């Protein structure tokens, strides 16, 4: 019996919408009608971030809170195990991103 292997054509990688900054910080994540939980934030940009140490479902709306800043309305774009990609509903202003990476992330 001969084995036949098929390769799938390479799919173009989605272009990132903004420069990602490598951070490691704790933020509060809250799903609709749920209690907030702490999660680890990494790869932060004006348009989103990657979170870990929390189980989320793709497509769900959430609110992300960095330190004492106001919660940011967001959506879970993808989720695998306890890691998820988050898109902010409105991109962060550059000054807010700078504040988060320079002050909150410390």
CA distance 55 to 37: 10
Which pLDDT value is given to residue 96?
A: 94
pLDDT in tens, 32-61: 889 999 999 999 999 999 999 999 999 999
Query: Residue 78: pLDDT band by 50, 70, 90 thresholds?
Result: very high
Lowest mean pLDDT among 1-15, 43-57, 68-82: 1-15
Rounded to the nearest integer, the mean pLDDT of the chain is 85
Q: Which residue has the tokens 């990688």?
A: 13
Which pLDDT value is given to residue 102?
A: 87
Would residue 2 be called left, alpha or beta, if left means φ above 0 and alpha means ψ between -120 and 50 degrees? beta
Enumerate residues 6+ apart whose C-beta is below 8 A from 33: none
Task: Tell me the two tokens of residue 47.
Answer: 């348009």
């Amino acid at each position: 019996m001969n084995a036949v292997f098929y390769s799938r054509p390479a799919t173009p990688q989605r272009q990132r919408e903004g420069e990602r900054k490598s951070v490691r910080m704790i933020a509060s994540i809250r799903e609709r009608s749920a209690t907030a939980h702490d999660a680890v934030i990494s790869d932060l940009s004006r348009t989103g971030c990657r979170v870990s140490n929390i189980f989320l479902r793709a497509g769900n709306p959430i609110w992300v809170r960095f330190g004492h800043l106001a919660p940011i309305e967001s959506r879970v774009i993808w989720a695998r195990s306890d890691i998820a990609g988050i898109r902010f509903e409105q991109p962060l202003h550059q000054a807010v991103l700078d504040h988060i990476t320079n002050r909150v992330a410390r």
